[in-house]
Chain A
Amino acid sequence: MSDYVIETKRLTKNYGEQTAVNAVNVHVEKGRIYGLLGRNGAGKTTIMKMILGLTPITSGEVDVFGQNIKGREKRVYPRIGAIIETPGFYPNLTGTENLEIFARLRGTAAPNAVKNALDIVGLPYRDKKLFSKYSLGMKQRLGIANAILHDPELLILDEPTNGLDPIGIAEVRDFIKDLSTEHGKTILISSHILSEIALLADDIGIIDHGVLLEENSMETLKRKNSKYILLQVSDIPKTSLVLERQFGVTDYSVQDDHSLRIYNTSLDMAAVNKALVVQDVAVISSQLCNDTLEDYFKKITGGEGIA
């Protein structure tokens, strides 16, 4: 059995002539946060809706928990929690009352489910405030509380930080991270803000004009996101001595027995090579790595970049 909680196979959605999602293969691993990154209208919400059965699939397949979702909806959906766009709540009821209605409809996993869900998102239990009086941030929190009410294994969150102020964003980010690390949830999240996703996601899928351009782990991407000179030499201690004594370089790190990274990219490498040769150190290679995450996204989205 594969460890993918969600796997789509050539998932496609056409609206008339227009293709909104084009043969997308998304792989969401168990216990990780998968960030779907793309500009508004790139097809993120449509993919989520198809996974949740909120819109018909034109072609392709969706596997959730290792099995095709078709015909098993009733057994699968109770294991997922989601917010897509603005969640619908009764404005004339309090947050707690709203959640109690959903708890009765959907069933819960524990007797004190409503209180637990509110605790996690940091909203008060049995507060008198009506939903209509809630701020945008509180509404968004209640939406997430509703999504985790039945303690689902998988969360699908469409732009959960949309419209929040920076402090609100940081707080929501923190408890989403907590849901993954402390509660073992698998989370699929979408955003159009690169820095947001970079702070939160373990894996990332970049989508543009309905096409999944790249799918990779954040770790791999971050490794590409740095400026340094990679130097391969025969003798590391001698090299570090030369760098420190003759060039005053302290900003470097040793990778293994034969390679090190110098973070000062403006260093005169010709002079360094020469000095190393004088000290009997063989320089096998020296190369400049000069890519930032933004540059990288620009490159793969064809120069347009991501907001």
Chain B
Amino acid sequence: MNVNLFLLIAFCIALLFILFLVTKLRRVRGQLSIIEEALEDIKTGNPNRRVLTRKSDMTKRICYAVNEIAVKNQSQLISQKQSEQAYKRLMTSLSHDVKTPLASLVGYLEAATTGLVAGDEKEAYLHVAVEKAYHLKNFVETLFEWVKLDAKEQIFHFEICDLNELTRNIVAEWVPTLERNHFEYDFDIPEDEYFLRIDLHSYTRILNNLLQNTLMHSGGNKLTLKLLENEQQVKIIISDNGKGISPSDIPHIFERMYQCDRSRSALGNGLGLSITQELVNAHNGKIKADSKPGTGTVFTVLFPKAL
């Protein structure tokens, strides 16, 4: 009798155990079919697909590994796509922004060479044509620089240097230009040393672009540059007393080819601020613009001390 009872209990335990195993098996099979479906999807070109899994899942490691491969695949595809798009934008830019100055250059040269104008006027036409050609050359060079940044193909050489000293040297070169353009200026750069890891060329470019931008587009006559430094970061503030930028333009000014006055063939090329932003980003920094129309614009650049 006792033996029978023991057998019955043993049988029940065995049955429960089998039931447990069967449910477990079914769950794993279900998960396997999900993995299979996802793998098929990834294989046919959808690297966005992920397999979801829980901490208690037996297939956890497989799922994580599949996802990792998919993520890697995806980021490769994305960077490929980005450089493709960058070149597409270059083509658009070449076709639109080069065509206009080129057409007008041809117009001037044709007029001068076919005898439409003569004497002093011919000289003047040739002079304009030369200026336009230089402008175009400049634009194309800047464009290629921008494309390199846009396609993330620019190589940076980061080194530690004294930011205060470097900044002083850069702004010193601007003094004659500012005076020639009747700009009042005020540079507030700390006397001590402040070491930061940066790419020299990029930093120079960033400051030059911002100063150039103020000089050409602000419409003001006063410029201030201030460096605020602490253990975490350095803040570079460049402000003017010009006409300002309207609130509707502010979100776009760092976009490529965005020009507030939209006069394309006039001054500037619509690439300066876009390049500046890309360069600041490469230093893990931030750039922003604040402006009140009528009272001026403030550009603020932030670089973290630890790169």
Contact = CB atoms under 8 A, between A and B. Distances in A.
Interface of A: 75, 78-79, 104, 106-111, 150-153, 170, 181-186, 199, 236-241, 244, 250-256, 260, 263
Interface in B31-83: 34, 37, 46-55, 57, 63-64, 67-68, 71, 74, 77-78, 82
A244 B104 contact: yes
Contacts of B107: 236-241, 244
Nearest to B105: A237
Contacts of A170: 251
B103 A240 contact: yes
Given A199-B251, A253-B96, A263-B262, A185 B48 contact: yes
17 contacts: A108-B53, A108-B54, A109-B51, A111-B64, A150-B50, A152-B50, A153-B50, A181-B82, A186-B48, A237-B103, A240-B100, A253-B97, A253-B100, A253-B265, A254-B96, A260-B103, A263-B263
Given A150-B50, A253-B99, 17 more contacts: A104-B55, A109-B67, A110-B64, A110-B71, A153-B49, A181-B82, A236-B103, A236-B107, A238-B107, A241-B108, A250-B265, A251-B264, A252-B264, A253-B96, A253-B97, A255-B96, A263-B263
Given A107-B53, A251-B265, A75 B34 contact: yes
B110 interface: yes
Contacts of B77: 184
A126 B110 CA distance: 70
A250 B266 contact: yes
Contacts of A104: 54-55
The 6 lowest CB-CB distance pairs between A and B, nearest first, are A241-B107, A107-B52, A237-B107, A109-B50, A237-B106, A240-B104
A141 to B, nearest CB: 18
Contacts of B102: 254
Contacts of A182: 78
A170 B49 CA distance: 29
Contacts of B97: 253
B111 interface: yes
Contacts, number: 101
Nearest to A104: B54
Contacts of A254: 96, 99-100, 102-103
A153 B68 CA distance: 15
A110 B67 contact: yes
Contacts of A240: 100, 103-104, 107
A24 to B, nearest CB: 25
A250 B263 contact: yes
A184 B54 contact: no
A174 to B, nearest CB: 11
A194 to B, nearest CB: 12
Interface string B241-276: 000000000010000000000111110000000000
A239 B103 CA distance: 9
B220 to A, nearest CB: 22
A69 to B, nearest CB: 16
B223 to A, nearest CB: 26
B68 A110 contact: yes
Contacts of A151: 50, 67
Given A240-B103, A254-B100, A109 B52 contact: yes
Contacts of B262: 251, 263
A252 B265 contact: yes
Contact of B78 (A109, A184, A236, A256): A184
Contacts of B37: 75
